[in-house]
Homo-oligomer: A and B are copies of this chain.
Amino acid sequence: MAREQAPVSSLVLAILGLLSEQPRSGYDLRKVFATTAMGQFSDSPGAVYPALKRCAKLGWLRSETHNSGSLRPRQVFSLTARGRTALAALLSRPVMRRDLERRPDELLLRFAFSGGILGRRGARRFLTGYLREVEASLADLRGQAKSIGKIPPCVRLAMEHGIEGYETDARWARRALKEL
């Protein structure tokens, strides 16, 4: 009786993952997005604060207010039990080809958090799915590269970029599977 999973943006996934590590305020989250390797996500208030509100409304987050007398109280958010369940469900989704092509960063984000939420088993399951899709895409790209006849050098180089990127992804996934 699995409930349908509402589509969740990468930003929400990042927020849930970060809050699963420790409670943070909206501003804390924005700083993470602005200054760390998670710079792919928006640190703009117009994205972060509404996202936090949506998650709170879904019951995934609770907030604790500091300086409640102040006009600008600081709100610190943390994951609820339901939020943790929702995060686990999001992280457990099978790796789809579409994700690999359209939002590869989100996939790596899922992997980074899956260790803490799903454990080694979950992380390994992710990696096998990831490797499967990478290899499928690689085969596809190689096939296309062969079947196209004469193409301009820049187009050929761009395709080779894609192929080499997937090869690197596959090597990484195999190594990660050995390490875990």
Residues of A within 8 A of B (CB): 36-37, 39-40, 101-102, 108-109, 111-116, 123, 140-141, 144, 152-155, 157-162, 164-165, 167-169, 171-172, 176, 179-180
27 contacting pairs across A/B (C-beta < 8 A): A37-B141, A37-B162, A39-B101, A40-B102, A108-B161, A109-B158, A111-B154, A111-B158, A111-B161, A112-B157, A112-B158, A113-B154, A114-B154, A115-B152, A115-B153, A115-B154, A116-B152, A116-B154, A153-B179, A157-B172, A157-B179, A160-B172, A161-B176, A164-B168, A164-B172, A165-B165, A165-B168
A112–B141 Cα distance when bound, in Å, is 15
Q: Which residues of B contact A141 (CB under 8 A)?
A: 37
Determine the main DSSP class of A at the interface with B: helix
Q: Which residues of B contact A115 (CB under 8 A)?
A: 152-155
A172–B102 Cα distance when bound, in Å, is 21
Q: Is the CB of A169 within 8 A of B179?
A: no
Q: Which residues of B contact A114 (CB under 8 A)?
A: 154
Most buried by B among A152, A153, A172: A172
Closest Cβ of chain B to A133, distance in Å, is: 13
Most buried by B among A152, A154, A169: A154
A101 touching B154 in the complex, CB below 8 Å, given contacts A160-B172, A164-B172, A168-B168: no
